[in-house]
Amino acid sequence: MSSSKERVFVTAASGNIGSGIVRGLVKKGIDTTAYVRDEQKAEDMFKDEMKTGHLKFVVGTYSSIDVFTKAIQGHTRLFLLVAAAGTKPTAMSEIKETFAKIAFEQGVRQIVDLSSAFVTSYGRKGIIGYIHTAAEEKLWKLADENPEQRSLVVLRPGSFMSNHFMHDVHSIKDSNIFVSCGLPSSPMTWIDTKDISDCAVAVLSESVEKHDRNVYDMGAEKLSNEQRAAIFSKVLGRSIVYKQLSMEDFYKKVTGSGMSHSFVYHFTMVASKDICETTTPEIAIIIGRPLRTFEEWLRQNAKAFE
């Protein structure tokens, strides 16, 4: 891709995935706009990238439509990620539809959407499946209104390894356990957000035609709860144990921490079913290396669990 003609707009640019995309694009010399809520935070995050002259910031939110409409002008590609946890179930699809419609109307030729493996495995079943399926449906409809001009690529990742920073990190640090309500043998398919960022960077920097209308499911490693406990024990050098709660106790514990009924019910459902149908080693074709294992991720982040 010619960096003189292309300019990529990255939403959620200060998040796990967005920040990796910004760094990856700038490293390739591609002019990049990072859409952020807090400019100071962004300046602290992207000190090196700012020095290259390839990065600019636009300060805005999912609600500041006027800011987005003006800022997207002159861009050819858009990475679209909406973090809508805690909002109404229709919020993600409404925001994505609004942003995508404006982007396509302003001349963006390719949108790379961050969805979820739940869409492949469950469709609308479970609230996360509903949220992402509804959003995808609106994006596909917009893209298909003008297929010659509008390209859409959807990334559907499995469970993020970084989810361990939300709850498990505390129980592992405090009492060497992590809890859920699945059987010790229940599997879950994990993915490092770095792999998601790298896949998005490849798609956003290669020809629009190459990836047009692909859906990339992304799952690196299928691990049971007891296999995960064994990897934690090996890497941290102390015994970490998986503790299975009853569904009722799990539901009470997590709703007690403030999560809504719909999300906790969803997590209770998938605790024994897994998020991905299969792992996807074929993503190596796109990113030029194998997907990262859970052990690799944990070795890099072990300090957080000490």
In the complex, least distance from residue 117 CB atom to ligand NAP, rounded to whole angstroms: 6
Q: Closest separation between CB of residue 74 and ligand NAP, Å?
A: 20
CB of 209 to ligand NAP, least distance (A): 26
| Closest CB to ligand NAP among residues 151, 193 | 193
β-pair partners for 241 = 177
Question: Nearest-5° angle of CA 202, CA 188, CA 185?
Answer: 155
d(CA 91, CA 154): 19
Of residues 76 and 120, the one with the C-beta less far from ligand NAP? 120
Contact 190, 161 (CB under 8 A): yes
The DSSP bridge partners found for residue 56 are 33
User: What's the min distance (Å) between Cβ of 147 and ligand NAP?
Assistant: 26
In the complex, the residues that contact ligand NAP under the rule CB under 6 A are 12, 14-18, 37-38, 61-62, 81-83, 114, 116, 157, 159-160, 163, 193
Q: Are strands 55-59 and 31-36 parallel, antiparallel or unpaired?
A: parallel
According to DSSP, the β-strands at 187-191 and 221-224 are: antiparallel
Give the residue among 253, 97, 105 at the shortest CA–CA distance from 171. 253
Number of C-beta neighbours around residue 189 at 10 A: 23
In the complex, residue closest to ligand NAP by CB:
15
Nearer to ligand NAP, 250 or 267 (CB): 267
Q: Tokens standing for 206?
A: 């290669």
* C-alpha distances in Å from residue 6, one per residue of 77, 139, 210: 8, 22, 16
We find the least distance from the C-beta atom of residue 110 to ligand NAP, in angstroms, to be: 19
Question: Toward ligand NAP, which CB reaches closer, 5 or 112?
Answer: 112
CB 253, min distance to ligand NAP, A: 19
Q: How far apart are CA 44 and CA 36, in angstroms?
A: 12
- Which CB sits closer to ligand NAP, 218 or 238? 218
Q: Rank residues 18 and 24 by Cβ distance to ligand NAP and give the closer one.
A: 18
